Structure 1
Amino acid sequence: MTIRKVRTRIAPSPTGFLHLGTARTALYSWAYARHHGGELVLRIEDTDVARSTQDSVDQILASMKWLGLDFDEGPIYQMQRLARYQEVVDRLIEQGKAYRCYCTPEELDAMREEQKARGEKTRYDGRWRPESGKLLPPPPEGVKPVVRFRNPLDGDVTWDDLVKGPITINNREIDDLIILRPDGVPTYNFAVVVDDWDMGITHVFRGDEHVNNTPWQINIFHALGAPLPQFGHVPVILGDDGLKLSKRRGAVSVTAYEEGGYLPEAMLNYLARLGWSHGDDELFTREQLVAWFDGSHLSKSPAQWDPAKLSWVNAQYLKQADDERLARLVADQLKQRGLDAGGRAGRLPAMCTLFKDRCSTTVELADWLSMYFAPVHPGEQDLAGHVTDAVRPALASLAARLETCDWTKAAISQCIKETIAEHGLKMPQLAIPVRVLVCGRAQTPSVDAVLELFDRETVVGRLHRR
Structure 2
Amino acid sequence: MNRLPPQRSKISQVQQSQTVITRFAPSPTGYLHIGGARTALFCSLFARHHGGQFKLRIEDTDRARSTDAAIEAIIDGLRWLGLDWDGEPVSQFARVERHREAVNALLARGRAFKCFCTPEEVEALREEAFKEGRALRSPWRDRDASGAPAGAAYTVRFRAPETGVTIQDEVQGEVRWAAKEFDDLVLLRADGTPTYNLAVVVDDHDMGVTHIIRGDDHLTNAARQYQIYEALGWDVPVFAHIPLIHGPDGKKLSKRHGALGVEAYRDMGYLPEGLRNYLLRLGWAKGDKELFTDEEMVQAFDLDGLNKAPARLDFDKMASVNAFHMKRADDDRLTALLFERLEAREGLRTDEAARAWVRAAMGLLKERAKTLAELEEQVYFLLRPRPIALEGKSAKALDDEARARLSRLREVLARHGDWNEPELGAALKRFAEDEEVGFGKVGMPLRAALTGGAPAPDMSFVLAVLGKEESLARLDDQV
Q: Decide which of 228, 235, 246 is 1:220's aligned counterpart.
A: 228
**Superposition map of 1:8-407 within 5 A:** 8-116=22-130, 118=131, 120-121=133-134, 123-129=135-141, 131=142, 134=143, 138-140=147-149, 143-152=152-161, 154-245=162-253, 251-338=259-346, 339-342=348-351, 343-374=353-384, 380-381=392-393, 384=396, 386-397=397-408
Deviation (angstroms), 1:109: 2.5
Give the Cα separation in 2 of the matches to 1:140 and 1:249. Answer: 54
Kindly state the Cα deviation for residue 69 of structure 1 after the two structures are TM-superposed: 1.5
Structure 1 position 432 matched with structure 2 position 444: yes
| 1:104 shift after superposition | 2.6
Please say which of residues 51-60 and 435-444 is displaced more in the overlay: 435-444
- Residue 75 of structure 1 deviates from its aligned partner by 0.5
Return closer, same or farther for 1:249/1:170 CA change in 2, 3 Å cut-off: farther
Specify the SS of the correspondent of 2:168: strand
- What letter is aligned with 1:165? G
Alignment RMSD: 3.2
Q: What is the TM-score normalised by the length of structure 2?
A: 0.85
Give the paired residue count: 456
CA separation of 1:196 and 1:248: change in aligned 2, threshold 3 A: farther
Shift in CA distance, 240/383, structure 1 to aligned 2, threshold 3 Å: farther
Gaps of 5+ in 1: none
Per-residue Cα deviation, 1:128-184 (whole angstroms, up to 9, x for no partner): 21x2xx4668434665322111121x2222121111111111222111111112233
Matches of 1:81 and 1:248 in 2, distance apart?
A: 37
Residues 151 and 175, structure 1, Cα contact 8 Å, conserved in 2: yes
- CA offset at residue 28 of structure 1? 0.9
- Separation in structure 2 between the aligned mates of residue 247 and residue 426 of structure 1, nearest angstrom: 47
* Partner Cα separation in structure 2 for residue 209 and residue 382 of structure 1: 55
Partner of 1:451: 466
Question: Matches of 2:318 and 2:277 in 1, distance apart?
Answer: 9
Tell me the SS of whatever aligns to 1:128: helix
Residue 106 and residue 340 in structure 1: after superposition, are their counterparts in 2 closer, same or farther (change >3 A)? farther
Amino acid in structure 2 at the alignment position of 1:429:
K
Describe the shift of the 1:360–1:454 C-alpha distance in structure 2 as closer, same or farther (beyond 3 A). Answer: farther
**Cα separation, partners in 2 of 1:378 and 1:53, compared to 1, 3 Å:** farther
CA distance in 1, matches of 2:309, 2:67: 33
Shift of 1:57: 1.4
Q: Aligned equivalents of 1:227 and 1:188: distance in 2?
A: 19
User: 1:391 aligns to what SS in structure 2?
Assistant: helix
Q: Distance in 2 between matches of 1:105 and 1:453?
A: 81
* Change in 2 beyond 3 A, CA 1:292/1:220: same
Instruction: Measure the CA separation in 2 of the matches of 1:241 and 1:235.
Output: 16
Query: 2:159 is matched by which residue type in structure 1?
Result: R
Distance 2:362 2:261 in 1: 27
Q: CA deviation at 1:310?
A: 0.3
Q: Which segments of 5 or more consecutive residues in structure 2 lack a partner in the other structure?
A: 1-14
Shift of 1:329: 1.0
Between the two proteins, what is the percent identity of the paired residues?
41
Deviation per residue, 1:68-116 (Å, 9 max, x gap): 2121123010111111111111222122221222223232223333444
Would you say the 8 A contact 2:382–2:466 is kept in 1? Answer: no
Change (3 A) 1:147 1:108: same
The equivalences for 1:416-431 within 5 A come to: 428-431=440-443
Cα shift at 1:340: 4.9
**Secondary structure of 1:40's match?**
strand
- Counterpart contact for 1:397–1:419, Cα < 8 Å: no
* Residue identity opposite 1:436 in structure 2: A
Question: Offset of 1:189 from its aligned partner?
Answer: 0.6
Give TM-score, length-normalised by structure 1: 0.88
SS in 2 for 1:204: strand
Q: Post-superposition shift, 1:390?
A: 2.8
